[in-house]
Every structure is written in C-alpha cells, then in structure tokens.
Structure 1
Amino acid sequence: MNRYFIEVGYKGAAFSGFQVQENAHTVQAEVDRALSTLFRAKVESTGSSRTDAGVNARQNFLHFDTDLPLHPQFLYKINAILPADVVLNQIYSVPAEAHSRFDAVGRSYEYTLYTHKDPFMQDRGYFFPYNLNMDALQEAAEIIKSYEDFTTFSKRNTQVHTYICKIEESLWRREGERIVYNVTANRFLRGMVRGLVGTMLRVGRGKLTMAQFRTAIESKDCTNADFAVPGHGLFLMKVHYPEGLLTPYPF
C-alpha cells in the first residue's frame, strides 16, 4: 500500500468546513469523491487541519493510501472532477507511516480586513470600516508571543488535552486598504485565530486596554475573548512539515 500527501487550496464560502461531516457540504468530502471517481474505488482521506465554515486555504494537506497506480495526468483529471472552488496543487510520495496531521510541525494563518467597500474582497476579507490604532494592534500581537496557554482563545466543546501553543510569528501589517494579521504556531486551538483577531481588534479600537488584554489571556476563560469576526477573512496559508518529508510524485 502506497501513501500519498495531496496539497489542496480552496475558497471556503460554499462549504460547511473542511472536515467530512454527516449531511454537510465539505472540502474533504469533495476531495474524497474526486479521488474515488478517478480510482473507481472508495478512497477516504485524512486531513491535516480542520477549518471552519467559510474559512479559506491557500494550502492544506490530506493523505490517502492506495495500491492502484497514479494516472500520468492525475493532477489534470482530479482538478477536472473537483468543483471550481477547490484545487489540487500537488501530490507527494511519503513513507507509509507519514501522517498529514500528526507530522505537521507548524501552521501559518492570515486574517484580512479591508477598510473600504470592495465587492472583489467579499468572501476573501472582513469589511471593517473603523479607525484602528496600528501601534496598539502591533503591541497586542507582540504580547501574544509571550504566552503559551491559550485557553481563552479556544472555543468550547473541543477535544484537545492541552491548550499550550508556541507562537512563532504574530504581527499586523497595512497594505493599502487592507490590514492583515499573520500568525504562525506549532498548533492552533478551535477558533483560536478568530478569537485572537477579534480580541485584538477591541484593543485597536480602544475598547480594551493592554492591561485588560493581558488579563483576558491570563483568565483562561473563553467568554473574555471575541470570536465574532467572520470565517471568510481567514486563510490557512501554509502547513509546515519536516524538511525532506515531501517528495513530489515523479509523473
């Protein structure tokens, strides 16, 4: 049995999330359907990262096993089967024990705000026409890096055993009429990036002091975080793996 990692990107607007769910339209279900159609046999993949309804991904991964040979035009044929809002960018040969979720060593997300009405940004950013103190946002983003316990920024009904995360990058930047938050960590909790963004926006608007922001983090109480920012402003940008794990399949 051969194991393969596949790299996908998708626009999340039409989906109820990434992971297969009963009676729901999901990205993983579409990928499994396309693989099963091409191989003419049932294929069930395993995803690397769950994303919520509306959330987009520049890069996400799944893995699957098969003894069947890969068609020389595998990428072309799979993309012809997949809907227009999902793309399979690459397939990789990996060791039989490799796991798309558990072998990931980090993930990078980006959250985009746009400050002036723009129909071309709809479903790809959060329209936020309010004044923001960029210095305060940047200070809050830097403060986040000094913490490891992110219980405050985890939604309830999660199945994790620890709320410890190591934040490697946390920063805001302005790009014309776009304001973008970038964050990279070894792992993320359910709703964590949206909780961070929503709570920092309260700091940027002067509704929360820096001391209150620290108190919210240290409270380990999710009712002190703001998760209200919409999913469509969020992009999973990159899933990080150990160097040398991924070998593009030699068609």
Structure 2
Amino acid sequence: MSRFFIEVAYQGTHYSGFQIQQNANSIQQEVEKALKIFFRKKIVLTGASRTDAGVHALQNYFHFDFENLYTELETSKVLSTAEHGSAGTDGDLSEVAIASVYNLNAILPPDIVIKKISPVKETAHCRFDAIEREYKYFIYQKKDPFLRDRGFYYPYKFDLEKLQEAAGIVLMNKDFSAFSKRNTQVKNFICSIFKSEWKIENEILIYHVVANRFLRGMVRGLVGTMLRVGTSKISLQQFAKIIEKKDAASADFSVPAHALFLTRINYPAEIIT
C-alpha cells in the first residue's frame, strides 16, 4: 500500500468548506468524486487544514492510500496518453502521480485544481506532520468589483501602527481560546505563532500570520478584533485583555470568510519519498 499527498488550490466561494459534510458541497467531496471517476473505486481522503465555508486556498493538502496504483493506471492506458508522454514501465510512482494530475483536473470543476500528487512515506500524515500553516487576509478600501470575492471592502480610516502593535501582541501569546468558535470539540487551544504582521501592498491591506496550527475561526476573529484596535474602538490593552481572558464572548467581531486565503503549508522534507 502506497501513500500519496495531493496538493490542491481552490476558490472557496461556492463551497460549504474543505471537509466533507452531509447535504452540503465541499472541496473534499468534489476531489473524492473525481478520484472515484478516474480510478473507478472509492478513495477516502484525509485533509490537512479544514478551511471554513467561503475561504480560499493557494495550497492545501489531502492524503490517500492506494495499492498497485501503477498497475491500475497502466491498465487504463493513462500512462501512454499524448498529453503527458510516457511514464515508463518501471513502476515509478512519481511518474504515475504526474500522469494522474492532468486527467483529474479535467474532471474537477474549474474552481478546484490539483497542483501535484506526491508519493510519501507510508507513515506521513498531511494534517499532523505539517509544521507551518500560513494565512493571509486581504482588505481593500477603494470599491473594486474585481476584488469583491477575494477581499474585504473596509472603507474606514485605520492606524497602521496600532495594527502592527496588535499583531505583536498576537505573536507574544500562545493560548487563543478567545478566538476559537464556540461549540467546538477542540480541547487544545495552544498555537505557536511564528509570524504576525500587517502590511500594505498595492493599496491592499494584508494581515499575514504563520503558525504551527490554527483554531476554527481564529484568523477571522483576530483580524476583526485588531481592526477595532486600528480604528480606536478598543485599546491595545483591551485587546491584550481579550486574549488573556480566554473567553470567546469577549472577541465578538469576525470578518467575512471570502477575503481569507490559506497560502502555504510546510512539511519536513524527509516525508517525501
């Protein structure tokens, strides 16, 4: 049995989230559907980062297990198609994975793309082996119809210096209970923050945060509350107190999902075979 990582990117606008759900369309559901059509058997995926409804990803991962994948594709003549040449006859799983990407993308809807399929060690886990996850939140202040699905329109004056100071407070903390969605089954609210900063690029205000893990709704809650600092609705001391109280009721301002992007997940190099 061989294990594979699938690297995906998607626009989350029309999906109820990353993880498969009953009576709702998800990224996982669409990818599993494509795999079933292509491989002619049901494949169950495990996801790396469970983005919420409407959140986008430039990079996210699944993993799955498959026995005799090379034989399966050779039988279906996928490996000799003109679009991607011949993958050879030595059972190279990397070549098999490359051969699969083109065909799977032809099946998937246009707002989901498989970027890469990589053979990994049998013990590799796309969720638990991730060492860094990176998110960016995009805010624009001049009305722009081309950004409406990918940015948060926020036409209010803000103090960038205060936003940076608030981001620094995030960097100094580890327990983010206050920014976890309520009614969650998660019992561990500790996150190691490696980067937390605000910047302006091409008139777009961006919050950039990197951590080993994130809680559900955490980034949107942080952004929403920091914007209150940046517009002088609460002080830096009040923001620090919200984190310290560890009470989700204190952090009641969250920004929309459609401006949030999961931009990168980092893994140890040694898990790739």
Which TM-score bucket, shorter chain as reference?
over 0.9
Q: 1:143 corresponds to which residue? A: 169
Q: 1:38 corresponds to which residue? A: 38
Q: 1:131 corresponds to which residue? A: 157
Aligned residues: 247
Q: How far did residue 177 of structure 1 move?
A: 2.2
More helix by share: 2
Q: Deviations over 1:23-57 (max 9, x none)?
A: 10000000000011100111111100101000000
CA-based RMSD: 1.0
- Which structure 2 residues correspond to residues 73-84 of structure 1 after superposition, within 5 A? 73-84=99-110
Q: Secondary structure at 1:109's aligned position in 2?
A: strand
The runs of at least 4 aligned residues of structure 1 exceeding 6 Å deviation read: none
Q: Secondary structure at 1:43's aligned position in 2?
A: coil
Q: Secondary structure at 1:28's aligned position in 2?
A: helix
**Matched residues, percent identical?**
54
Counterpart pick for 2:222 among 196, 204, 225? 196
**Does 1:100 find its partner at 2:123?**
no
Q: 2:64 corresponds to which residue? A: 64
Q: Deviations over 1:96-137 (max 9, x none)?
A: 111111111120000000111111111111011111100000
- Hey, what's the Cα distance between the residues in 1 that align with 2:243 and 2:254? 17
Q: 1:22 corresponds to which residue? A: 22
Q: 1:2 corresponds to which residue? A: 2
Q: 2:211 corresponds to which residue? A: 185
User: 2:30·2:108 contact (CA, 8 Å) conserved in 1?
Assistant: yes
Q: 1:116 corresponds to which residue? A: 142
Specify the structure having the higher radius of gyration (Cα): 2
Structure 2 portions without partners, runs of 5+:
80-98
Which amino acid counterpart does residue 125 of structure 1 have in structure 2? G
Q: Secondary structure at 1:119's aligned position in 2?
A: coil
**Does 1:230 find its partner at 2:256?**
yes
Q: Secondary structure at 1:162's aligned position in 2?
A: coil
Q: 2:269 corresponds to which residue? A: 243
Q: Secondary structure at 1:244's aligned position in 2?
A: helix
Q: How far did residue 143 of structure 1 move?
A: 1.0
Q: Secondary structure at 2:225's aligned position in 1?
A: helix
Normalising by the residue count of structure 2, what TM-score does the alignment of the two structures yield?
0.88
- Which structure 2 residues correspond to residues 41-52 of structure 1 after superposition, within 5 A? 41-52=41-52
Q: How far did residue 160 of structure 1 move?
A: 1.7
Normalising by the residue count of structure 1, what TM-score does the alignment of the two structures yield?
0.96
User: 1:196·1:226 contact (CA, 8 Å) conserved in 2?
Assistant: no
